Chain A
Amino acid sequence: MLGLAGERNTAMPHLTDYNLEEDFPNLAVSGWRLASEPAPYNCIAYSLHDTRQWWEYGRMPVRGYYWPPGVRQDNSVESWIQVFEIHGFRRCDRTDLEQGFEKVAIYVKDGEPQHVARQLENGVWVSKLGPDEDIEHNALEGLTGEHYGRVEIIMRRPRT
């Protein structure tokens, strides 16, 4: 389990120039830590183990962005579900750790998906927070609130 009140990774103290717990106050309760330097991928990419591309569901007029072929390119819950389905995930009801399964959790606010977190083999969740840092967090509730809404979709696939 990660420490409470932000177990800050002292190797990378410079990653944020702001207090993450001000944006996500539940993190202070559930425990979290910074996990990596800023990098050019987003939460969808990271949840599918892609750290080279930014998976963009909006139509971009400029190159440098990726979206899986054949998936409707809009910010709908259905599109996000389809992205994970084509990568072997299926919907489930439980967020707890199940041996042999990898899970993702999609946060939804006002009917639109905002963020997706991935569960590690030890049960801790990892999240890429927009264009900046990755964090590890003990509970999905750590990121619920004003920015990301709440978890509405859980999906799992056999862990390889």
Chain B
Amino acid sequence: MERLIIKESVHADRQVPLDISSIAGGTMSGHFQGEVTSTGQTSLDMTLVSVDVNFSLTLTPPTKELGREQRFRRLADQWRRETRHQSSASKMAMHPAYQQIIGMGRDAIPFILRELRRTRGHWLWALFAITGEDPAPEGSTFAEAVDAWLSWGTQHGYAPPD
């Protein structure tokens, strides 16, 4: 059972509306009825007898838990912006934003493949790092390797998100 933090004061023997915030970050509102064991100006000890709660739960993700796509977009834009004149693909892959994308794991694959299809950029290292696979034949040019990875995506059911 989650710990509930009561935000509002209550009066004994009365049913009162309460706003209850749970530690999950959502809010609930409802009614409760309980036995008051003591009173005070700033605190109230109660034993909850029953609760009849009608609530709607709205969860707002903490800032650090951005949606996966939003996070990928932010990192990809940063990576592209900060490596746009780089002549080394290995240096590009070492960029912190690129490494964070790799850290997203398989969740990032659809977004990487969509970006690869759109830009035909240097996402091959990330795909290899996440999947452990390399579908490009030995001796492939970069363009041929990109095509191999796009085919790999289709074959593995990674339809890019719209």
Interface set of A (CB-CB < 8 Å, partner B): 18, 23, 40-44, 52-54, 56-66, 75, 114-115, 128-132, 147-148
Contacts and interface: CB of A to CB of B under 8 A. Distances in A.
B3 interface: no
B7 interface: no
B137 A63 contact: yes
B88 A62 contact: no
B112 interface: no
A61 B125 contact: yes
Nearest to B136: A63
Interface in B50-92: 81, 83-92
Contacts of A114: 87
A44 B87 contact: yes
Given A18-B84, A130-B85, A131-B122, A60 B145 contact: no
A63 B85 contact: no
Contacts of B89: 42, 54, 56, 58, 60, 65
Contacts of A62: 124-125, 127-128, 134, 136, 145
Contacts of B137: 63
A57 B88 contact: yes
Contact of A64 (B85, B88, B91, B140): B140
B138 A63 contact: yes
Interface in B28-63: none
A63 B133 CA distance: 11
A56 B141 contact: no
B144 interface: yes
B68 to A, nearest CB: 23
Classify chain B: how many residues form its interface, as a range.
20 to 34
A-B complex: 10 closest residue pairs judged by Cβ atoms: A58-B90, A64-B145, A63-B136, A62-B128, A40-B142, A130-B85, A64-B142, A54-B142, A62-B124, A42-B87
Contact of A59 (B90, B120, B143): B90
A130 B136 contact: no
A65 B88 contact: no
Contacts of A43: 87
B97 interface: no
Interface in B129-156: 129, 134, 136-146
A56 B90 contact: yes
B103 interface: no
Contact of A40 (B85, B136, B143): B143
With most chain A CB atoms within 10 A of its CB, the pick from B128, B136, B141 is B141
Nearest to B92: A131
A117 to B, nearest CB: 11
A130 B128 CA distance: 22
B26 interface: no
A53 B141 contact: yes
B140 to A, nearest CB: 5
Contacts of B86: 130-131
Given A62-B145, A63-B138, A131 B124 contact: no
